[in-house]
Structure 1
Amino acid sequence: MASFNGYHHQTFLLVFLILHTILFQYYYISPCNAQNEKVDLTLYYETLCPYCSYFVAHNLVSLFTNDLISIVNLRLVPWGNAAVQSSGYFQCQHGSGECLLNMVEACAIDVYPDTYKHYFFIQCIESLAYQNREAEWQSCFAQLSLDSKPLFDCYNQGNGRTIEVQYAQETSQLNPPHAYVPWVLVNNQPLHEDYQNFISYICKAYRGTSVPAVCSSSESIISSFRDEETGTAQQACYAGSQQNLTSFVPTEILQQSTEVFN
C-alpha cells in the first residue's frame, strides 16, 4: 500500500511540474504577454510646427535605430492646435498647408497600418517640412516605394476628414489638456517640457525582460534641441497662439496640393 501511495505521489508531482512549466511559458513568455509589456508612446502634434517636425524627423527615429520600437507601441495623432469651425471647416495654426498635411498623415496612419511604413512616410514629410519644402511631400511615395492610390482615396473620399474629427475630439479630451505641441505621453502620462527625454521615460516604464541596450547607456538621455542660429532652446507651438489661421476647405488633393502652400 505504501508503495502504491508513493507511486501516486510521484505521479502527482510530475503532473504538477508539467502544468507549472506550461503555465509559466503561457503567462510569462507568450507573445501576448510580451505585447502587453510594451510601453505606450503617444505623440499629439501638428505637421508644420517646426518643433513637431524636428521631433518626428530627428528624435523619434531613434526608436527604430536603437531597437526601442521592439518594446514600444507608437501612436501618432496629427491634429495639435487645430480647430473645427462652426461651418465644419478646419482651421490650423500654420495655415491651409498644415490642415492638408494633418489629413494626409492621418490617412497614412490609416492606410499603411504597419508602424514602420506610416512612421517613415511621415518622417519623410516632416523632414521636408523642417526644411520649408513641405510642398514636395508627394516625393515621399517614391522614396519609400509606397502606392499613393490608397492615401489619395482616403483623402479625396472624406475618410481623412472623418479621422481628423476623431483626432480633434480625442485631443480636446486630454486630461490634463495639452498646452502645446509636441505633446508626448508615455503610458498615458504627459512628459510636459521634458518630452525630448522620452527614451529615459520609456526605459523606466518598461517591465519586460528584453531590455534594449540603449536603456543601459548614456544615450538614453537626449539633450535639448537648440536652434542653430540663436542658440536658444526651442520647445513647442502653444495652443491658442495666433499665427496663420485660415479656413481650410478640402477639395481633391491633386487640385490643391501645391496651391495651399503658396
Structure 2
Amino acid sequence: MVSVSLLLFLSFFAFFAPSESHDKVSLELYYESLCPYSANFIVNHLPKIFTPDLAPIVHLKLVPWGNAKLRANATFDCQHGPYECLLNTVEACAIHIWPQLSKHFPFIYCVEDLVFQSKREEWESCFEKLDLDSEPINQCYNSEHGKQLELQYAAETSALEPPHKYVPWVVVDGEPLYEDYENFLSYLCKAYKGTVTPQSCTQASYLREVNAKPKHSVCYKDSGIMLTWEKVRSTIASWMH
C-alpha cells in the first residue's frame, strides 16, 4: 500500500518533471466513495501512474458519483447511504477547489484509504495530514454548491456511452475497460501515441495482455445485486432483529 507521504512525493516529482511529449492518454474513473472496490482501486492501483515517465502522458479525471440515483426534486440517493453522498460531495468539492491533480488526488487518496481501512468517520483527519485548509471544503459540501457539483457529475455519468453498469468504471481514451479495469496500465500504454515509449510500459511485471478481461469485483448499478460489505452487514443486522 502506498503511504500518503510517498504519494505526495510521487505526485510532486511526477507532475513537475519535464516531459519530452505533449501526447496524453485520457484516463477517467467513475466511482463512488464507499464502494470497497472503488476504494481498493484508488488506493492500491491508481497510484501506479504517479511515476516520472507515466504521469506526464496521462490526463486523469475523477468523477465521484457512481451508482447514485436522482430523484424528481433534484435530490439524490447514494447506493451505500447518506454517508456516501457526503463523501462523494466532499471529494467533488476537493476537485473543484483544488483543480490541480497533484493537490486533490492526495486528499481523495487519503479519504479512500480510510474507507478501505473501515475508518471512514475519520476522513476529516486528512486535512491535518496533508496540511490543507478545511474551511473551503466545509463551506462547499454544506452549501448548494456541493450539490450542484454532484448534479454535474450525475449528468456526466449518465452521458456515458456505453452506459456504465457498475463501479469502478474505468475509461481509457473513451473506451471502457469493463471488468479488466485493474489492467488499466496495459491499456494506457497501448493507447499512447508518443514517440518515446515510457519505461514503465516495458515492464512485464506491470502489464498483462489487453482484452484478457479477468473478472474483478465491482459494485453493480442494480442495488439488487450489489456485492458489498455494506449490503452483507445490513442483511445480517435484519436477521438478528
TM over 0.5: yes
Given the alignment of the two structures, is residue 45 of structure 1 paired with residue 31 of structure 2, yes or no?
A: yes
Distance 2:43 2:144 in 1: 27
Structure 1 residues 208-217 or 76-85, which shifts more?
Answer: 208-217
- Look up the match of 1:239: 221
- The alignment's TM-score, normalised by the length of structure 2, stands at 0.79
Given the alignment of the two structures, is residue 201 of structure 1 paired with residue 183 of structure 2, yes or no?
A: no
Gap regions ≥5 residues in structure 2: 1-17, 210-214, 232-241
* Post-superposition offset of 1:34: 3.9
| Count of residue pairs brought into register by the alignment | 205
**Runs of 4+ more than 6 Å apart:** none
Q: Deviations over 1:138-170 (max 9, x none)?
A: 001111111112211222232111111011111
Check whether the contact 1:180–1:236 (CA below 8 A) recurs between aligned residues.
yes
Given the alignment of the two structures, is residue 140 of structure 1 paired with residue 122 of structure 2, yes or no?
A: no
- Look up the match of 1:179: 165
- The alignment's TM-score, normalised by the length of structure 1, stands at 0.73
1:153 to 127, 130, 139: 139
Gap regions ≥5 residues in structure 1: 1-30, 224-232, 246-262
> Over aligned residues, Cα RMSD in angstroms?
2.2
- Look up the match of 2:71: 85
- AA in 2 matched with 1:120: P
Instruction: Provide the identity percentage.
Output: 51
Distance 1:140 1:234 in 2: 29
Q: Deviations over 1:100-135 (max 9, x none)?
A: 000000001000111011111101110100111111
- AA in 2 matched with 1:237: C
- Look up the match of 2:44: 58
1:1-80 mapped onto 2 (5 Å cutoff):
34-35=21-22, 37-65=23-51, 67-80=53-66
- Look up the match of 2:15: none
Larger radius of gyration: 1
Check whether the contact 1:108–1:151 (CA below 8 A) recurs between aligned residues.
yes
Given the alignment of the two structures, is residue 164 of structure 1 paired with residue 150 of structure 2, yes or no?
A: yes
- Look up the match of 2:87: 101
2:107 to 91, 100, 121: 121
